[in-house]
Amino acid sequence: MKFHWKLVLPLTIISFVIFTKWWYVEVVDGPPEILTGFPLPYMCPGWHTSLSLQIFVSGLIIDFLTYFAFWSILTLIVNRFVIKIKLHKFLTIFLLTVAGLLSAGMIFIGSNPDNIYTINRDFEIEILDSGYKFIWENQEH
């Protein structure tokens, strides 16, 4: 359990925030949009006001659990078959600090009262293009 708290959870949070997939879609009866999320889109810009988001909770949970499962399996394989992972105090503090700061930033963005939270995406889409990106990269569309 300590292993997951000190290594897997911070790696999950860091990679979840930093690396994602974008989806350029045509919304049925709506404008083209860019959705974000891997493996499922869980977020897009809000249509009712600027700087708001539409967040789809089921996609968000599935995506987070996918990242968590990936890091759990990868660290388990490395720890068991490649090299025994020893968590040094400096690395643990660094990972927890970075993950905490990223989490605080995402909580701040997510706490915008103009954001809309729904369980599932309530509109149909047709995917026109998609790709992967890091948080500091811009989409071409």
pLDDT at 136: 79
Note whether 66 and 37 are within 8 A (CB).
no
pLDDT at 46: 85
Note whether 25 and 54 are within 8 A (CB).
no
pLDDT digits (tens, 9 = 90+) for 2-50: 777 788 899 999 999 999 999 899 988 888 889 999 999 999 888 888 8
Residue 138 confidence (pLDDT) above 80:
no
Mean pLDDT calculated for residue range 80-92? 83
User: In which band, very low, low, confident or very high, does the pLDDT at 83 lie, cut at 50, 70 and 90?
Assistant: confident
- Alpha-carbon span 71 to 87, nearest angstrom: 15
Residue 58 confidence (pLDDT) above 80:
yes
Q: What angle do CA 117, 132, 116 make, to 5 degrees?
A: 10
pLDDT at 1: 60
User: In which band, very low, low, confident or very high, does the pLDDT at 140 lie, cut at 50, 70 and 90?
Assistant: low
